[in-house]
Every structure is written in structure tokens, then in C-alpha cells.
Structure 1
Amino acid sequence: MKKCLIILSFAMACLKGNAQNSSPFTFRTEITGDLISNMQGGRKSGHSYVGKIDLSLGLSTEKAGWFKGGKLFLHAFNAHGGNPSARYVGDIQPVSRIEATNRISLFEFWYSQDIGKFSILFGQFDMNSTFAVNATAGNFLNTSFGMYPSIALNVPLSIYPYATPSLYAKWKQSEKLAFQAAVFDGSPLKFQDNPNNLKWQIDGNKRLFSTFEIQMKEIKDSVVKGNYKIGGYYHNGDFRGLSDSSNSVDGSYGIYVTMDRLIFAENSKDNQGVTAFLQSGSSPGKINLVDFYLSTGLIYTGILPSRSNDILGLGFVYSSINNHLHKTYPISYTQSRCLIELNYKAKFGNNFIVQPDFQYIINPGANPAFKNSLVGILRVSLVY
């Protein structure tokens, strides 16, 4: 199966190279590999490799000569390698966003339709491709800069490596303002029950995850200078109390904000310079492991005069562990878990990226038994 996926990726690359702009198909292949070393702290020192191959295929109904505004999208991946976050670091979120149990899996399969200012989508859909997305924070490798731990560690979600059936709608009032909302199946099947993510099963107990988001953009001279988003979610499942598992609570909810802005521009034509970002989320109650989350940081695009596309980044994460849990089990849980990440993304042409990365994790796993961890990662990725 893995060999077939590699062969298919090269076949798609050849098709892409031969396709004209008028072709209804779009292809994308991304191969990513991370060499990961836990140099000190955590569970124990050790080295590992994790890798991921992504294949995606899009079909435009307009370019196919059918009708305007339609798109069919399919995304599959192969995840392979070790499990360094659990084995060596012992953290509550992976040190690399691509880390997952070894598998070949369908990830997304959906159809979308644009109707004027409105868009609708249905199918197997990655929530984090559209909701709670911060492009600036996306330059960091630790999972905590992606889907907020105040959401991902508290409720079942339609995110990597499992996307679930969903219904999504968006209203784009203008280039500066948009509103989106979605409903997802709130009970993804476990890996052993659905290793290739080919079973489309809606939860019989009607457990759903619902979310909304308001998006605002600051645009000047046709260049986006800032992005500002606020959103919220509600999961209608039954959840056990952290300090008393016999206590059952109906539903879990939370809110979040995310923003990034260019704060120092080298010129007025693009986003060369320094961009700052902020992400924060709150999930109150006695059932949520992480009840508050904050991440912030800076990136400098084009810090070297001869390397205008390279990016230097420094980021910080704070995750608050629910006080009810800490008070009940003070020797088992710390009050917080923090992270500092520094990396440099070097781009060579349009297709090849090398990214050395260092992470210092304070209270990994929120476990008092683990010393602070120092992790080094070397990422290499090829996109075509």
C-alpha cells in the first residue's frame, strides 16, 4: 500500500506537469519528514523519525464545462515513523503536527458549491483547514500552535488524522468580513475501528460538534495587513468530571480568538517584515483538561537580504490545566504546561523547504515527574 501511494504521487506530479490552466483537475503532493531528538528531560532522551505523504485532487465543475462554483476535493495521506512525543517527551500534544499512528488513510472527501456570496460544503471535512486557522502560527511545528489544546484535548474533533462527515456554510460579505459555521459528527471512530477512515458513520446517539467563526481582514493597498477572528463551539455529548468520574455533564463549550498583524514592513508592496500573532481559547467547567490557552509570537519574513522568502520564528504557548483536576490530584498534575519554540524556514525555489526547529517544553504532559524537555527537529519537505 505504501509503495502504491508513492507511485501514485509521482503519477500525479507527471499529470500536473502536463496539465494546462484550463484543466478541471488540480493536483498537489507534499512529502514531509521530521528528524526528532529529545535531547533532555521528558520521559527519556531519544531520537526518532516521523514522515507524512499527502496527496490531494481537486475537480472544478466550471472548468469541466458543467456549471459554475462547484468543487470536488479528495485528500489522502500516509503517516509513518515512530512515536517520539509519547515515547520520549511524554507531552499532551505532539511536538510535530504530522505525527500520527502509522497508516494509509483517506482524510478529506467533500463537495463545495459557491452561490454568490454564499458557500456550502458537505462531506468528510477537516475543521482546522478553515476554523481557528492562523497562517502566521502555522510556521511553527508543535501541534499546540495548530488546533488549540483548549479544544483538541477536551472534545472529539474532526481534525488530523481523522476528519468526520460535516455540513459547512460561509457568507462572505466582502473581502474584509465573513461569517462561517459548521456541524460535524461529534464521535470519530477509533483507529482500530476505522484505520483507513473509509467508514462513514454518523453517531447513532446524535453527538454533534457545532462551531461558528467571524472573520475580519485589514487590507491596505491590496495587501492584507491583519487577520482577526473570533469563534465558539458546542459539543452535545456526555462528559465525565475530571475529579469525579461518576459525575456526568451534558455538553461542553468554549470560545476562541485568533489574530495576526504585520507590525514592521520593509515595503508597502508585500508582507516582508515582522508579523505578530496571538491565539487564545477558554473552555470552562469541571470536564475540560485544558481550560485556558494562549499562544503568541513573531515571525520575520526575509530577515536576510538575499533570502526574501525565508522565515525566522519565535513562539510561546501557555496551557492552563483545569484547577479541579490539579487540586484533586496535586502529585499527578502541574498547574500548567508551557512551550517556547524557535525555528528557521529556508525555502529553495517553490518546492523545497528545510526547517531546523528547537522546542523547550516546561512541564511536559503536565506531569510533575517529567523534567523540562529540550527537543530538536529537522524538517525537510517537498511540494509539487
Structure 2
Amino acid sequence: MTARRNRSGIGPARAGLASCMLLAGAVSTADAQDTRSLPGTPDQPANDTAATPAPPGASAVQGDLMTRSALLGDPWGIRSSLAARGVSIGLTETSEVLGNATGGLRTGAIYEGLAAATLGIDTGKLLGLTGGTISVSSYQLHGRGLSANNLDNLSTVSSIEAGRSFRLFEAWYEQSLFGGNATVRIGQQAVDQEFLISQYGTLFINSQFGWPTLPGIDLPSGANAYPLGTPGIRLKLQPTEALTALVAAYNGRPGGEGSGDPQKRDADGTSFELDDGVFVVGELQLAINQGKDRHGLPGTYKIGAYYNSNAFADQETDNHGRSLADPDSNGNALLHRRDWGIYAVMDQLLWQHGSGADKGIGLFGRIVGTRGDRNLVSLYAEGGLSWKGMLPSRPDDSLGMAVGYTKISGRARQLDRDTAFFSGSAYPVRDAETVIELTYQAPVTPWLSLQPDAQYVIHPGGGLPDPDDAGRRIGDEAVVGLRATIAF
């Protein structure tokens, strides 16, 4: 998931959304039926929805400092006592330093961090309500975001970038039905925890490989993706081990009506708005060659679509049919009712080595498309490779390389041409933003991981004009950094 920004005169932009943020531990119970995960750490199992494993149970946190899964272990037996009652807790700090050596609005470096606390309750153990799970997660966000302060790009370079705050993220109840073949979840939720997720993409630090740039830019408030949750209901059906169907309906505008940053409109995540339209998303998932008896390499393939009932501003014309760049325009954009998008996701293991099912080289790709009249971004596509266990001496390390492409819609590009025409001066026409990322994730201990990272952003913002010289674009951005994650 991150701060949302608006660029005056040229449409909205995002300070980022995230999905591969490293966080505390998931929100499932010690033996939860549905392994709940939140923006987090590596080693995501196939078909899971984000990157964080469950909070450590009694056995996992025991042992010496270098082998236990949590830094604090099981002090005074608190964790094991809670786990026996169906209660799990997690606390993680993700800290990173990122800097751009070239390009952007200015060069420099920043520090930012995310402290995440999670609580999971197995209602069967604690309350006698079989098949139920309660999940609550909250964030404390600190530091400064590189994209918001230095870069002004579309695909925020850090998946944990957001406005400084202490906020509730998710708070929901889930009930298992029909012997586990269906679940219903109700409460405050985030769409990027279950929908449009690439398993291998969660390795990367750039936010676009979590919640894709297109819905993050186009939908109201960027949709209910990190760090914004909103009330909703989700139904999950799994008629076979290979086939899963998900459908959900959420409040259509996280943070409610108003201008400016939705994170500030809902400063602590507890507005629980219900009357801002509806955001509906559905997804079909096909998992192949899963389990011990598989005869080929495992993979997951997904297709989906979303719909939002709110009004969307035209990217070029006002409500009298004039270009918004025309000096005679009234400045009120033509409003369109409703918006939609379609998408596909692929995760496929190409080559496997070692005994672990996740060891080897994985290929991933996603594509999202929408209409161009009411959206700044009309197409998003990404692809990449992830190699876990490349070094025999470090079987849990992961190396990844990925490319993400964000296309500016034709109507928004026409507005740039209109701006040049009516101003009578040079003005760059935006086309697309491309991000290349190379990353390496190294677990130092089960509770500590380090991740050096390098990114290169071509045509930030799709080729935005430089604030100091509107006749030229903002320079391409070379970003390097280091992320550290500690599970307490």
C-alpha cells in the first residue's frame, strides 16, 4: 500500500500502496484454519494472499537467540499460554533507508519505518465458536517517504511509504462454512490482502508489485489498500483444491468524501464509512500441481474484475465540452458515472531445486486494464523472476528482478497537447512510467532479514514537466536502499 498526492492541473498521483511490506506476523491463531497474512515478510506459501507468515506459536519462539522465530522468544510463557487459548499476537518493525542519486524533484535520502501489531483469535478455542477467526491489525508509521518528498513518481518506490500516523488497518470476523469449503469475512478489510496478488511479486520493495499502480491511481483514495481499510464483506468458495473463487463488496471511497489526502480524512482508520458508493471485486484462481503428489511444477493463475459506482472526472474536457487547458474552460471536469477494470495474474515455478517446494526460479506477471476517458492510467503490466536458494550455503535467500510499466491514458495525453497549444510554449506529453527493480532478501536469523535494493524509474509520473522548467521532463531516478525487518 501510503500517502496519496494530487498534482495540480494534471490529475491525481499516488505516494504509494503496498503489499510487500515486511511486518509483524500474520493474524492467524497458532493453528488457524485460514493462514492470515498482512504486508510482510518473505516465504509466502503458494496461493496465500500476502507475504507474512502466522505469528509464532509456542514451539517456534522457543530455542536460542539465533534459531527462534521471534527476537523476544516466549517471555514468561506468555505466548505459549495465549496460543493454548487460541490467541496469537505479533509485533514487527520494518525500517529502511532509501535515496535517489539522480533525477526527481531533488536528490537525497530518507528514513522511514512501519511498526505493525497484530492480534488473531481462534474463536473455537477461546469461545467455543467452531470455525471462527477474529483478526485485528494496526500500524504506527514514522519517517518520511522518498516518493512524496523527492521523486513525484506514480509507482511509489517503497511499499511501506505512508503518512505518519498510528492507525487501525483491518478488524474483521471470518466464519468457515460447509466443512471449510467456504468462508465469509465481514468487517474492516483491505482489498490488497486477498485480491490481485502475485506470490512472487511480494518479494519486491516497490509498491507497484503489491497493489498495482493502475487501481492505486485511478480508484477513489486508491481503493482500500495499504494503509487504508474500509468496511466490507467477502465470500470465498473453494469447491476443489485447485479452484478458488473470491468476491467482495467494500465501501467505495476509503476516508469518505472530501479533498486532500484520504489518510488525513480518516486519520486513525476508524471512520468506518458506509455511504460512499460501492467497490466490488471478483476473482477466480486456478492452482496447478500443488501438494506432495504433484506431477509438474506448481503455478497459480488468476483472472478478475472490479467495479466502482462513484463519479469519475474526465481527463481532458470540462462539463461544457471544452478542454480543461482552454483559458475559457470553467475548470469543472465532465463527470462520468462508474468505473471498472479487468486483470490477470500468473505465478509459475520454472525450475525447482532442493527439497523445498518453493526453492528455485519463479516467473510472475500481471496486467490490469481500464477505460481511458475517466482514468489517468489506462494500462499496467509487470513481469519478473524470483530465485530462492540460488546459493547452496544460503538456501532461504531470494534474488529478484522485475519490470513494471504504467501507461498514461490517451485522454490525459491529449490534455498535455492542449496545454502546449493554449500556452504557446513547450510542454512535455506524458506517455508511461517504467520501473526496473533488482533486490536481494537475506534472512540473517528467523526473526531478522536484510534486503538491499536498487530501482530505476524511467519517465517519473509518465514524463511529468520539471517544476523549474515546464519545457522538460523530470529526470529519470536511480534509487538505492536497504530494508531491515525484525519480528519481536
TM over 0.5: yes
Question: Separation in 2 of the partners of 1:221 and 1:144?
Answer: 30
TM-score (norm 2): 0.74
Please state whether the residue corresponding to 1:235 is helix, strand or coil.
strand
Q: Which amino acid aligns with 2:443?
A: K
Please state whether the residue corresponding to 1:141 is helix, strand or coil.
coil
- Out of 227, 242, 249, which is 1:176 matched to? 242
Contact 1:225–1:271 (8 Å) recurs in 2: no
Please state whether the residue corresponding to 1:215 is helix, strand or coil.
strand
User: Post-superposition shift, 1:143?
Assistant: 0.7
- State the match for 1:200 in structure 2: 272
Q: Which amino acid aligns with 1:238?
A: A
- Out of 121, 129, 146, which is 2:185 matched to? 121
- State the match for 2:226 in structure 1: 160
Structure 1 residue 29 corresponds to structure 2 residue 80: no
- State the match for 1:74 in structure 2: 136
- State the match for 2:381 in structure 1: 294
User: Post-superposition shift, 1:13?
Assistant: 6.9
Please state whether the residue corresponding to 2:264 is helix, strand or coil.
coil
Question: Separation in 2 of the partners of 1:54 and 1:376?
Answer: 24
Tell me which protein shows more strand as a share of its residues: 1
Question: Separation in 1 of the partners of 2:399 and 2:279?
Answer: 36
Please state whether the residue corresponding to 1:299 is helix, strand or coil.
strand
Structure 1 residue 240 corresponds to structure 2 residue 313: yes
Q: Which amino acid aligns with 2:476?
A: N
TM-score (norm 1): 0.93
Question: How many percent of aligned residue pairs carry the same amino acid?
Answer: 27
Bigger Rg, which one: 2
Unmatched 5+ stretches in structure 1:
1-5
Question: Separation in 2 of the partners of 1:113 and 1:373?
Answer: 46
Contact 1:151–1:283 (8 Å) recurs in 2: no
Please state whether the residue corresponding to 1:32 is helix, strand or coil.
strand
Contact 1:286–1:322 (8 Å) recurs in 2: yes
Bigger shift: residues 9-18 or 357-366: 9-18
Rate the CA distance shift 1:153–1:333 in 2: closer, same or farther, 3 A: farther
Let me know the Cα RMSD of the aligned residues.
Answer: 2.0
Contact 1:39–1:46 (8 Å) recurs in 2: yes
Question: Separation in 1 of the partners of 2:429 and 2:484?
Answer: 35
Q: Which amino acid aligns with 2:350?
A: I
User: Post-superposition shift, 1:275?
Assistant: 0.4
Q: Which amino acid aligns with 1:292?
A: L
Structure 1 residue 210 corresponds to structure 2 residue 280: yes
Contact 2:315–2:373 (8 Å) recurs in 1: yes
Question: Separation in 1 of the partners of 2:130 and 2:339?
Answer: 39
Structure 1 residue 264 corresponds to structure 2 residue 351: yes
- State the match for 1:370 in structure 2: 474
Question: Separation in 2 of the partners of 1:268 and 1:11?
Answer: 30
- State the match for 1:276 in structure 2: 363
- Out of 154, 165, 186, which is 2:252 matched to? 186
- State the match for 1:99 in structure 2: 161
Rate the CA distance shift 1:333–1:110 in 2: closer, same or farther, 3 A: farther
Bigger shift: residues 334-343 or 147-156: 147-156
Question: Separation in 2 of the partners of 1:348 and 1:10?
Answer: 12
Question: Separation in 2 of the partners of 1:249 and 1:25?
Answer: 47
Q: Which amino acid aligns with 1:151?
A: P
Question: Separation in 1 of the partners of 2:86 and 2:291?
Answer: 32
Question: Separation in 1 of the partners of 2:268 and 2:318?
Answer: 32
Rate the CA distance shift 1:167–1:355 in 2: closer, same or farther, 3 A: same
Contact 1:16–1:26 (8 Å) recurs in 2: no
Contact 1:107–1:163 (8 Å) recurs in 2: yes
Contact 1:226–1:260 (8 Å) recurs in 2: yes
Q: Which amino acid aligns with 1:140?
A: F
Unmatched 5+ stretches in structure 2:
1-23, 25-69, 256-261, 320-333, 418-426, 466-472
Question: Separation in 1 of the partners of 2:477 and 2:189?
Answer: 34
Question: Separation in 2 of the partners of 1:154 and 1:345?
Answer: 31
Structure 1 residue 315 corresponds to structure 2 residue 402: yes
User: Post-superposition shift, 1:148?
Assistant: 1.4
Q: Which amino acid aligns with 1:181?
A: V
Please state whether the residue corresponding to 2:461 is helix, strand or coil.
helix
Structure 1 residue 357 corresponds to structure 2 residue 453: yes
Contact 2:380–2:404 (8 Å) recurs in 1: yes
Please state whether the residue corresponding to 2:414 is helix, strand or coil.
helix
Q: Which amino acid aligns with 1:242?
A: Q
Question: Separation in 2 of the partners of 1:29 and 1:91?
Answer: 31
Please state whether the residue corresponding to 2:103 is helix, strand or coil.
strand
Q: Which amino acid aligns with 1:335?
A: D
- Out of 231, 247, 250, which is 2:304 matched to? 231
Please state whether the residue corresponding to 1:62 is helix, strand or coil.
helix
User: Post-superposition shift, 1:172?
Assistant: 0.8
Encode CA deviations 1:316-374: one digit per residue, 9 max, x unaligned. 00111001111221435421000100010001232111000000000111214211100
